[in-house]
Amino acid sequence: MSLPPIVVFDLDGTLAETAPDIMHTLNVILEREGLPALPIERARELVGAGARALIERGFKVSGRPLDAQKLEELFEEFLVIYAGSVAKDSYVHDGVTAALDALAADGFVFAVCTNKPILHTRLILDHFGITRRFAAIAGRDSFPFFKPDPRHLTQTIAEAGADPQRAVMVGDSRTDVSTARAAGIPVVCVPFGYTDVPVESLEPDLVIQHFSELPDAVRRLTNREPALAAHS
């Protein structure tokens, strides 16, 4: 029996708009340290590389450097605060459920591969009632490696029991594109996620404007049609 094809999703900025709760947690940390809160608009440049990088970036734009020990202390504090409010203002992007339904009807299985800690990842997916849709869920701490290490993606696919030769990554950032490229897997990007440059400039295989476009994009890529070279 052949292994099923798979679509592997990033979480933050891709499947869900999670910046409001992430930025709220960062601002709690900043204000406790005597620094002003940052506006939600800064999320696009700050979010996407994990909580440690977020804290480090947040302090950098606030004009205060952090040493390694202080960063670790604040990271542990961040994890506790965030666990209490992972989905207060977050939401799943429009069209996600319909896209999953359409692809499932084509025989695809699904996974999540994110640099968010697995605890918070599962809390968010549970909150939105979509955990059961994924054959595998891998966070930053699920393996000894994480994105952009391609093994984070390939091991997630293996855990889902899926075919890596018929896999597609869906993400929103340089990290996702780099991971997929290193793994030899085509990648679709959404332009409404967390990236410091336009996703088109990262040259993913395809860019979709809405999740209603995802089923056709995935079909094109897994069939290896000539049209997949178009970045639109």
Q: How confident is the model at residue 229 (pLDDT cuts 50, 70, 90)?
A: very low
What percent of the chain stands above pLDDT 90? 82
10 annotated active-site: yes
- Residues carrying CATH 1.10.150.240, the chain: 19-83
Of residues 168 and 57, the one with the higher pLDDT is 168
According to DSSP, residue 139 is labeled: -
pTM over 0.85, yes/no: yes
Q: Where in the chain is the domain with CATH 3.40.50.1000?
A: 6-17+92-229
Mean pLDDT value of segment 139-154: 96
Measured in Å, how far apart are the chain's first and last C-alpha atoms?
35
Q: Encode 68-86: b = buried (16+ Cβ within 10 Å), e = exposed.
A: eeebeebbeebeeebeebb
CB neighbour class for 63 (10 Å; exposed up to 12, middle 13-18, buried from 19): exposed
What architecture is the 6-17+92-229 domain classified under in CATH?
Answer: 3-Layer(aba) Sandwich (3.40)
What confidence score (pLDDT) does residue 50 get?
77
Q: What is the pLDDT of residues 29-79, one digit of tens each?
A: 999 999 999 988 887 778 777 788 889 999 998 888 899 999 999 999 999
| Topology classification of domain 19-83 | DNA polymerase; domain 1 (1.10.150)
The pLDDT value recorded for residue 53 is 87
